[in-house]
Homo-oligomer: A and B are copies of this chain.
Amino acid sequence: MKKTLLSLSVLLLGFTAANAQSDTVMMRKIYDEALVNGQCYQNLRYLCKNIGGRLSGSANAQKAVEWGKKLMEGYGFDKVFLQEVMVPHWERGAKEQGYIISGTKKTPVAICALGMAVATPANGITASVVEVHSLQEVAALGEKGVKGKIVFYNRPFDPRYIETGGAYGTAGDQRRAGPSMAAKYGAVGVIVRSLTEANDDYPHTGTTQYSDDAPKIPAAAISTKAADKLSAMLKGGNIKFFFKQNCRMLPDVLSYNVVGQITGSENPNKFITVGGHFDSWDLAEGAHDDGTGVMQSVEVLRILKTLGYKPKNSVRAVFFMNEENGTKGGLKYAELAAANKEEHIAAIESDEGGFSPRGFTFDGLNAEQIKSLNKKYKGLFEPYEADRLVAGGSGSDVGPLRAVAPNAVLIGFRPDSQRYFDIHHTANDVFENVNKRELELGAATMASLVYLIDTRGF
């Protein structure tokens, strides 16, 4: 088999002994290692199936930390350590109930509490419903239109965004700020259409952010099918809505970022970080969000080590804790970077799912630098169909580095975005929805960028 492998490589690449050490050859080796001997898929299976959902502060999150540290230690990296961080501890409690009341008829609908939301009273909330499509509409309705009611945010995803993150971003204010906006005008509860284009019966959780200048009122996500039904029934006449949720905030909990490091041979105090977040929502296994990102990150280090690559700069894989409801892990990583006087060159975050790689977005390079980056690297990524190297944001966990490392290039790994929000934050975010090759190609793409940054810079 070895011989066949080599001769195919020769055939594919036409390389000779003379340029055997070139970037092209190294990248081919990286992809071959990921695709032939890849371990991120089996690691992800373990994380999803043997640990499962791992919301910050939960027993499962602690299990994940312990397993993740062992996994890294098993790979024999130069350093493996934990970073202590206090995280919020929110619990969903017993499964939520929701139904539409029309006369004596009750139609059950699929809902789930938004993350960080408060509970309803023990006997739930029953109220009439006002449907809106924006926060502005709530303000325009004012107390007269909203007081004592349940506000139902029902603005759908805009399907015209090619990258679905755009639709998520623009629809997301309803979930994030909608509850407090409704509370300001006296609403008693909020129901938000799930942030997805999928038309199904799975509600999508995700954090809501209560503002300090309004009462905290219960808020839940409703499935898109149920939202359409509720909207239709509202047009049909006088209905009420009932929902009951049982979530609560507990005291903060000591948790950890898990860090693995290959120490730089030339610049041990200069760092290239690749990471994802270890915590997940509680409704499923946190497979694409963000099991794939953390398992790809450790795979990046495994691949480089396996290939005998000795980085000039220190390369770290970081499993950040608490991205979903606090970003405390990302903030702690930046805080410790400053305290320890680390020099951060670059940090890559994978938190958009384990789908086919398309490229990266770069924060910290100007237009001229992006152009030069493309000149150097686009051709190298082209054979792997991951050559979109454009300006853009990075990720919630590496983002805080900006404040302490003004010159760091913060990078978002960008996989194909079409399927992510179908399952994001739902009961469907399970291992079975991850494709092995897509996951592996992503890991290889990130490993290649780490290698290129380390070897040749930006």
Q: Which residues of B contact A358 (CB under 8 A)?
A: 385
Q: Which chain B residues lie closer than 8 Å to A418 at the CB level? A: 356, 435, 437-438, 441
A437-B164 contact given A8-B158, A159-B36, CB 8 Å threshold: yes
Alpha-carbon separation in the docked complex, A384 to B416 (Å): 11
Is A160 part of the contact surface with B, judged by Cβ < 8 Å?
Answer: yes
Say whether B437 contacts A197, CB under 8 Å.
yes
* Per-residue contact bits, chain A 1-42, to B (CB 8 Å; 1 contact, 0 not): 000010011001000000000000000000110011000000
- Report whether B388 and A385 are in contact in the complex, using a CB–CB cutoff of 8 Å: yes
- Say how far A432's CB is from chain B's closest CB, in angstroms: 11
Least CB separation from A35: chain B residue:
B159
List 8 A-B residue pairs with CB atoms under 8 Å apart, sorted by A's residue number. Answer: A8-B160, A35-B159, A36-B159, A162-B383, A164-B437, A197-B437, A356-B356, A422-B435
What is the interface residue range for chain A against chain B? 20 to 34
- B36 pairs with A162, CB closer than 8 A: no
CB distance from A321 to the nearest CB of B (A): 30
Q: Is the CB of A419 closer than 8 A to any CB of chain B? A: yes
Cβ-defined contact, A162 with B384, below 8 A: yes
- Return chain B residues, CB-CB under 8 Å to A36: 159-160
Interface residues of A in 401-433 (CB under 8 A from B): 416, 418-419, 422
Give 1 or 0 for each of A433-452: 1 = CB within 8 Å of chain B CB.
00111100100000000000
Partner of A35, one of B9, B160, B419: B160
Name A31's contact: one of B162, B416, B419, B438 (CB within 8 Å): B162
The CA of A340 and the CA of B320, in the complex, are separated in Å by: 66
Give Cα A164 to B436, complex, Å.
13
Tell me, in angstroms, the Cα distance from A419 to B159 when the chains sit together.
Answer: 23
Residues of B within 8 A of A437 (CB): 159, 164, 197, 418-419
Contacts of A436 in B (CB 8 A): 197
- The 9 A-B residue pairs with the shortest CB-CB distance in the complex, in nearest-first order: A35-B159, A418-B437, A418-B438, A356-B416, A32-B160, A356-B418, A35-B160, A162-B384, A419-B435
Interface pair B416/A416, CB less than 8 Å apart: yes
- Cβ distance A354 to chain B, nearest Cβ, rounded Å: 11
| Cβ contacts under 8 Å, A32 to chain B | 160
Which B residues are CB-close (under 8 A) to A162?
31, 383-385, 441
CB distance from A364 to the nearest CB of B (A): 22
Q: How far is the CB of A435 from chain B (nearest CB, A)?
A: 6
Which of A5, A158, A160, A422: most chain B Cβ within 10 A?
A160
How near does chain B come to A259, taking the closest CB pair, in angstroms? Answer: 30
Residues of B within 8 A of A12 (CB): 160
Within 168-196 of A, Cβ neighbours of B (below 8 Å) are at none
